[in-house]
Amino acid sequence: MFSRSSGILLHISSLPGKYGIGSLGKEAYRFVDFLSNARQKLWQVLPLCPMSSENCPYIGLSAFAGNHTFIDMDILIEEGLLKKSDTEDISFHADSVNYSLVNTVKLQLLKKSYANFISNKNLTGTEYKSFCSRNVFWLDDYSLFMALRAHNNGPWHKWEKELKLRNKIAVKKAAKDLEYEIGFHKYLQFVFFKQWTTLKKYANKKGIKIIGDNPIYVSYESCDVWTNPELFLLNKELKPIKVSGVPPDYFSKTGQLWGHPLYNWKKHKSTGFEWWVKNMRFTYKTIDILRIDHFIGFVNYWAVPFGNKTALNGKWEKAPGSDLFKRLKEELGNIPVIAEDLGNKTSGVEKLMKKMNFPGMKLLQEGIKGGKNHPFAPQNFDTTNYVVYTSTHDSDTVKGWFNLLNPSYKKIVLQYLRCDENGVVKEMIRQAWDSVAVFAIAQMQDILESGSEARMNIPGKKSGNWQWRMKEDYSDKVDVSWLSEITKLYDR
C-alpha cells in the first residue's frame, strides 16, 4: 500500500506567523516548499479538531469539525472579508502559543469577517451552500452545539436538562433563537475546510502526502457525545460509567487516567458501525494517510470506573476491532492507516494489524538506548511494514532526550551511532532514513536540532503543552542539502 518515503512531523499550530498560532496561510505553503526542496514526501500533522479548554488536540470538541483558530487572516483580507486595518495592531509572542489570547483575538476577527460575509450575497452563494449540504450529517449538530456552548458558557453536561437531553422542542427553539450564531459556526467550518483543501491540493501537487491523526476516543465535552449518547457508556444521567486510560507501567506507577467516555461497542456493532463509517469516509476526504492513536484500544482497552482518581482500578476489556475494520474495508476499501501500537501490544493487536496490513510504529530513541536486542533497534526490524520515528509529539526531542540520559546510556547511544555528542541528532535521523521501515519520520524539532525547550507534550502534565512554535528563519538553520542527499541516498 505504501512506497518507501520520508517526511516531517509538524503540527499546524507550530508554524510561524504573526497571529499567535500557525495557520493555513503563506507559512504553511512555505513549509510545503521546504519539504519539497528537501525531497520529503510526507507531512504529518496532529488532529485538526477544535479543542476544549485543555488545548490538547487529542481532546477535541468534534470528530468531524476543523480548528477555526487555524484559519488564516491574511487570506480573509485578500478575499475582502477583513480589512488590513483590522489586524494592524495585533501582536503576539512569536515562540509559543498563548491559547487564551489567540482564541479571544481570532474569534473577534472571525466574527467581523462573518458579518462581512453575510452582507455580501456573492460570497454566500453556491460554494457555501454546497458545503453545508454535503456536510449536513455533522455540520448542523456541531454548529448548534457550539452556539449553545458559547451561549451557556460551559460544556453540554452542565446545560439545562432539556438541552442536555436534546429535548426536541428545546432544541428547535434554541436553533431558532441562535440562528445567527449557528450560521457563524457553519461559516467557520466552510472557511477552514476551504483553506485546508486548497493547502492539501498544493502539497499533493508537489508530491507530498498529508498524514493526519485521529484519536481513538472523543472528549466527554464533545458534540459527538452530546449528539449520540447511546454510542457511549453513559448512565441515565448521561455521566460516564467507565472511562479511558492505560494501566500502571514502567513510566507510571498508577497508570494514566485519560478520562474519555468509552464506546458502547454493542450499540456500534448493531448499527453496522455507521458512525465510524461516516467519520472515516469524511476523514479520507481531508487527508491522504491516517495515523490512529492508541490503536491497541480497538482490540483491548483499559476501562476505569468513572470517579476514580487514578487508572489503578481499571481492567482489560475487549473491543470488536476485527469486525470494525472489516466493515470499514467493505465500505471504503483498503484504507491507508498507520497504527500507533506503542504500549501493551497483545497477539490480538498484532493479528489485526497483520490482517489489515497496517504498519506499526518504532521509536528510535527507545531502540538505540535499549541495546542491540531491542525490537525498536533498526537491525531488528523484521519487515518493511513499519514507520520509524526519531521522536514523537509525546517524547522529548532527540537532543533533549540524549542530554538527559545517564552516562551509561549515553555511552551505548554514542557507540551505536558511531559519533560524538555533537552528531547525535543527525545520526539518529540518518539511521531512521537508512532503516528498512517503509516510512521514516522526524519531528521538525529534530530537523532543527532543538532541545527540551521545544518539546511538544509531556504526558500527564496538565498545562504548558502544545505551545511550541518554530521561528520564521527555520529554513536558514536546516542543512537542507544534507537532508536532501540522505533522502536520495536511502531511496526515500
Residues tagged active-site: 293, 340, 394
In the sheet where 360-363 sits, what is the strand order? Answer: 337-339, 289-292, 209-214, 42-44, 5-9, 439-443, 386-389, 360-363
Residue type, 363: L
Site of grid cell 476501562: 303
**What is the rounded CA–CA span in Å between residue 52 and residue 218?**
11
What is the enclosing helix (H) or strand (E) of 163?
helix 161-164
Strand partners, 479: none
Strand partners, 468: 96
**What is the rounded CA–CA span in Å between residue 470 and residue 31?**
11
Q: Are 245 and 255 in contact (CB under 8 A)?
A: yes
**What is the rounded CA–CA span in Å between residue 258 and residue 256?**
6
CA 183 to chain centre: 26
Q: Are 234 and 241 in contact (CB under 8 A)?
A: yes
Query: How many CA atoms, within 13 angstroms, populate the side-chain half-sphere of residue 111?
Result: 10
Task: Give alpha helix (H) positions in 255-294.
Answer: 265-270, 274-283
Strand partners, 84: none
SS3 for 409? Answer: helix
Q: Are 42 and 120 in contact (CB under 8 A)?
A: no
What is the enclosing helix (H) or strand (E) of 313?
none
